[in-house]
């Protein structure tokens, strides 16, 4: 069977990691404008979903490779 490509999960993971890091720094510096308190939790959720997606692809490819051997 064909492996699932790692490009998109990895790219989304890297993008959401950088965004989450940036938003964490903004939050720690206290530079967040009022009304944008929702941004940090949304970035955290997006990062968590992308991390789960990457882990799923790795595990799924490992299971499929084990079955082919």
Main-chain dihedrals φ then ψ at residue 51, nearest 5 degrees: -65, -40
Question: Using CA atoms, how far apart are residues 12 and 55, in angstroms rounded to an integer?
Answer: 13
pLDDT score of 67:
81
- pLDDT tens for residues 3-45? 889 999 999 999 999 999 999 999 999 999 999 999 999 999 9
* pTM summary value: 0.88
Using 50, 70 and 90 to split pLDDT, how confident is the model at 53?
A: very high
Question: Using CA atoms, how far apart are residues 3 and 19, in angstroms rounded to an integer?
Answer: 29
**In the chain, where the domains are located:** 7-68
């Amino acid at each position: 069977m064909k492996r699932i490509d790692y490009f998109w999960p990895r790219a989304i993971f890297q993008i959401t990691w950088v965004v989450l890091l940036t938003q964490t720094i903004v939050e720690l510096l206290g530079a967040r404008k009022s009304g944008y308190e929702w941004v940090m939790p949304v970035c955290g959720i997006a990062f968590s979903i992308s991390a789960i997606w990457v882990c799923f692809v790795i595990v799924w490819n490992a299971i499929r490779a084990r079955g082919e051997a």
